[in-house]
């Protein structure tokens, strides 16, 4: 199927690390993305990883890719209240301009 799966909710305490997980379906996916959506707004690209990489780090964000298990994760270090949002993973597949988005994970950061 075409479903990209994510858990719906995650709650963490301020200062802790957050790990948001995503399982995608197509092993031929080329790029995998993480987007952030704040309430009532569009999606903002956070980071992306090319399919031949295992890990990418960008300041507080760490993306891990396990191609064998088709598993993508986003780790946010030192989570802040401003990180509260919905996080979407997405994949692109060769030969198509379509982006397949996950269902989104709502992250709530408790002060």
Of 49, 85, 91, 104, the residue at the interface with other proteins (CB under 8 A) is: 104
Helix (H) or strand (E) holding 22: strand 18-23
**β-bridge pairing 31-37 and 18-23:** unpaired
Contact at 8 Å (CB) between 61 and 74? yes
Our finding on whether 72 is near other proteins (CB under 8 A) is no
Segment interacting with other proteins (CB under 8 A) among 15-23, 38-46, 59-67, 71-79? 38-46
- DSSP code at position 14: T
Q: Can you give the binding site for other proteins, defined by CB under 8 A?
A: 30-31, 33, 35, 40-45, 48, 88, 90, 92, 97-99, 101-104
């Amino acid at each position: 199927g075409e479903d990209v799966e994510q858990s719906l909710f995650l709650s963490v305490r301020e200062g802790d690390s957050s790990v948001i997980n995503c399982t995608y379906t197509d092993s031929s996916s080329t790029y995998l993305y993480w987007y952030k959506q704040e309430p009532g707004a569009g999606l903002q690209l956070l980071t992306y990883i090319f399919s031949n990489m295992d890990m990418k780090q960008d300041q507080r964000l760490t993306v891990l890719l396990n191609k064998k298990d088709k598993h993508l994760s986003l780790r946010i270090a030192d989570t802040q209240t401003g990180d509260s949002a919905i996080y979407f993973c997405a994949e692109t597949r060769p030969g198509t301009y379509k982006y397949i988005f996950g269902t989104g994970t709502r992250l709530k950061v408790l002060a």
